Amino acid sequence: MDLEELKSIWQQYDLKLNKLEKLNKKLIMETLSKKPQSKLNWLRYKTILSVIVAPILIIVVFYPYLKTENIDWKFILGWILMLTTVIYLIYVNFKSFIILKGINIGGDPIIESAKKVNDYKTIVNSRQKHVWITFPLLCTGVILIAWKGFTFDIKTIFFMAVIFVFSLFWGIKQNKIQQNKIDKVEKEIQELNEYKD
């Protein structure tokens, strides 16, 4: 066996080794990208579900109050406040859905996926900042729509205040949980960087 044959065999083994390494990286990349993609798909499902459920919920909950004897300035103002808030929230959730739908961790470059996740994170943070406006407007709208159905005594006012505070803080907590999930997805996407070609 001369030197040229040895070089040729060495190059063949080197080429096979490179192909195996690329295949190994590809398999690792596909395996590791499934977990964050699954989380993003779940967020996408929840987001589109909220867009669909909100109008249905409004119809179901407020149908009993749609009577001509209930129509006065409080009723109209309540609908304006509630519908404005709900339309804004539907718009934000639909925008989030479009961003989440466009993320394909296995198919997109990692930098592009990370950028899209960051865009989604910006929307979630913005929604968190606006919750101090949207939630009180929504609650005020609901109270004004159902005004004639309430008897305002100390017990009712206290109950409404407790429900308001609990709902507000529960929503903020859920939003923080969602932000933590997004941070984990971002971290998982960044970890994929070492396995890209």
Q: How many residues does the chain have?
A: 197
pLDDT in tens, the chain (197 residues): 577 777 777 887 778 777 777 766 666 666 666 777 777 788 888 888 888 888 888 888 888 878 888 788 888 898 899 899 999 989 988 998 898 888 777 677 777 777 888 888 888 888 888 888 888 888 888 888 888 777 778 888 888 888 888 888 888 888 888 888 888 877 877 776 665 65
Give CA 186 to chain center in angstroms: 13
Long-range contacts of 88-95 (CB under 8 A, 24+ apart): 88/134, 89/50, 89/54, 89/127, 89/134, 90/50, 90/51, 90/54, 90/55, 92/123, 92/126, 92/127, 93/47, 93/48, 93/50, 93/51, 94/47, 94/48, 94/51, 95/123
Domain boundaries, the chain: 36-195
Type of residue at 98: I
Per-residue pLDDT at 197 = 53
Mind listing the pLDDT tens digit for each residue in 7-63? 777 887 778 777 777 766 666 666 666 777 777 788 888 888 888 888 888 888 888
Per-residue pLDDT at 84 = 92
Mind listing the pLDDT tens digit for each residue in 15-27? 877 777 776 666 6
